[in-house]
Chains A and B, each alone.
Chain A
Amino acid sequence: MFYLTLIVLLPIAALILKTTDAGFMRFWEVVTSPRALASFRITIGAALMATAFSAVYGLLMAWILTRYRFPGRRILDALMDLPFALPTSVAGIALTALFAGNGWFGRFLEPAGFPVAYSIAGVAVAMAFTSVPFVVRTVQPVIEELKPELEESAATLGAWQWQTFRRTIYPAIFPAHLAGCTMAFSRSLGEFGAVIFIAGNLPFETEIAALLIFIRLEEYDYPAAASIAIVLLAVAFVTLLTTNAIQSWRLRRVVKD
């Protein structure tokens, strides 16, 4: 408890204190300014896109890594953690180089009408890159624990593959999957390093909330920066709280059954 207070609660308390420096009217003015609202919309929108991708791709990767044996599996498994280890700014620069109009991917995507770099899609790509391991790593141990007998018995009872997955496998994975997605989402909200290189940072179009915080700091306007940070924090907190509520509700239902 002491360490939790020291490492987590103290900085948050400092953040809230900084905001109250200026009073509630100022806080409201800062967070409802058109530019701040646009940055929240962009950040949350891109984070949702990134999480949707991570949810599917992460689950798929976790499944492949646990259920299939193929050469290079261990290497792939280790590579999965790379986004955690790589400095995010390096990830941002690398992704920009790939997705810019003259990059390996960008040169095909852009003429096809899907510009990724310097658009909200780029923001989502950067967020997905840095957050996908959360889904893989939370789901993987649960899949490992799943007994193949479960699927076999479902099959002998005449279940289709899709039914087996939907009725038998997914309910078992669901809590972990939901937790992983929530973490991926929360992480995406705050991602800065990877995003600013690929976003283009156009106000009202690709300017994320974290950059707006940086800009307010640059103006030595600490209370305004703290105000925007508080909103991000609140969104992340509500998401985490909701997930916990859903999980405990499901748990109670399972116990009742």
Chain B
Amino acid sequence: MNSLSHKFVGALVGALALAGTIAPVYAQSAKPVEIMNVSYDIGRELFIKINEAFAADWLKKKNQTVTIAQSHAGTGAQARSILEGLPADVVTFNQVIDVQVLADKGKLIPADWQKRLPNASSPYYSLPAFLVRKGNPKNVKDWSDLARDDVKAVFPNPKTSGNARYTYLAAYAFGLDKFKGDHAKTQDFVKKFLSNVPVFDTGGRASTTTFIDRNIGDVLITFEAEVNAAKKEYGDKGFEIVIPSQSLLAEFPVAVIDKNVDRKGTREIATAYLEYLYTEEAQEIIASFANRVQNPKVLERHKAAYPAVKLVTVEDIFGGWEKANKDHFAEGGILDKVFVKR
């Protein structure tokens, strides 16, 4: 719908320009351009807004109509599609490893892609948070409650969802903290935590549906942004947000896909699109979707929406994504060991 209306406006502007009557400014306007942003599952609503704002900004500055095609799915599947030839201009993912694979397996981007933009190419961040039912009947306060026998938690399958990989690692990091670095005890804790999950959906949005529409589970664990969106969307159901004592910093890495933009001649606009995400205007939009941002002015305005939380990083606790992936998520890794029959 969005891209259609843009096309329509573009066509209209073009027609007027040809007629040369009303808007002489447009007479020299550049050819409309289309770029493709390949993104994560639950980023749809955010990027609809971002794309509108960016298109307006670009039209004002460069006098060129831009249409941004959006594609949203689990980032693992998205990365595979790009490796197999999906002509993405930029990726906006929620997983560093799924961008890294584009460098490692496809040589589509340089290995040091994270150095190209501020904050390790992550214009915003989030963290796994909890959504509980009205009145918090099971009194869930922290990760430790999720290993209780009477609590059922819903989140997607860590094997198929980046969102869930953060949840799994956040629980593991909490365990390490609680058991003072004892991996055996931590793994027992995580095993119990995983065995309390009644349904493993394949993606973040599906888990939200399971929790809300199917009425399954006592806690939904997903990004803070999704937790807030669900609470707002279903205001009448009185869901409550619980921020655990400690969580894991979830980066949202972005990258221009060099091989694709050079072939399509879209490098300038693709780069501008990602740089735009760091502007105050864009950060305001991003923050309004309950993602946490770095821009100090925007941060000040949304202070109330960001409860203080101790955030640990994959780098600090797990020695970086590559190592975390090998230790935990690869076949036969720790996840396979704790993800067993109940």
Contacts and interface: CB of A to CB of B under 8 A. Distances in A.
Interface of A: 35, 38, 96-97, 100-103, 117-118, 196-197, 200-205, 211, 214-221, 224
Contacts of A215: 157, 159-160
Given A215-B157, A215-B160, A219-B329, A100 B216 contact: yes
A221 B76 CA distance: 12
Given A215-B159, A221-B331, A101 B339 contact: no
Given A102-B215, A203-B341, A220-B101, A214 B160 contact: yes
Closest 6 CB pairs of A and B: A204-B341, A100-B214, A201-B200, A200-B199, A215-B159, A218-B76
B62 interface: no
A172 to B, nearest CB: 45
A127 to B, nearest CB: 18
B77 A218 contact: yes
B199 A214 contact: no
A196 B101 contact: no
A96 B159 CA distance: 22
Given A217-B80, A220-B105, A224-B331, A200 B198 contact: yes
Given A201-B202, A203-B341, A218 B214 contact: no
Nearest to B336: A35
B202 A196 contact: yes
Main secondary structure of the interface of B (DSSP, over half): loop
Nearest to B105: A220
B159 A219 contact: yes
B213 interface: yes
A216 B160 CA distance: 9
Contacts of A102: 214-215
B284 interface: no
A201 B213 contact: no
Nearest to B332: A33
A117 B331 contact: no
B206 interface: yes
Interface string B202-215: 10001000000111
A218 B206 CA distance: 17
A203 to B, nearest CB: 6
B330 interface: yes
Max count, chain B CB within 10 A of own CB: residue among A200, A201, A205, A214 = A201
Contacts of A38: 341
A220 B216 CA distance: 31
B340 interface: yes
B218 interface: no
B278 to A, nearest CB: 30
A204 B200 contact: no
B198 A118 contact: yes
Interface in B259-276: none
A203 B199 contact: no
B201 interface: yes
B99 to A, nearest CB: 14
A204 B330 contact: no
B258 to A, nearest CB: 21
A203 B215 contact: no
A201 B210 CA distance: 13
29 contacts: A35-B336, A38-B341, A96-B214, A97-B213, A97-B214, A100-B215, A102-B214, A118-B198, A118-B199, A118-B216, A196-B202, A197-B206, A201-B200, A201-B202, A202-B197, A202-B198, A202-B200, A203-B200, A203-B340, A203-B341, A204-B341, A204-B342, A216-B331, A218-B159, A218-B160, A219-B159, A220-B101, A220-B105, A221-B331
A204 B340 contact: yes
Nearest to A38: B341
A147 B216 CA distance: 53
B254 to A, nearest CB: 21
Contacts of A200: 198-200
Contacts of A214: 160, 202
A217 B101 CA distance: 13
Contacts of B80: 217, 220
B280 to A, nearest CB: 37
Contacts of B105: 220
A97 B213 CA distance: 8
Interface in B263-299: none
Contacts of B215: 100-102
Given A201-B199, A202-B200, A220-B80, 9 more contacts: A38-B341, A102-B214, A197-B201, A197-B206, A200-B198, A203-B341, A218-B74, A218-B76, A221-B331
Nearest to B157: A201
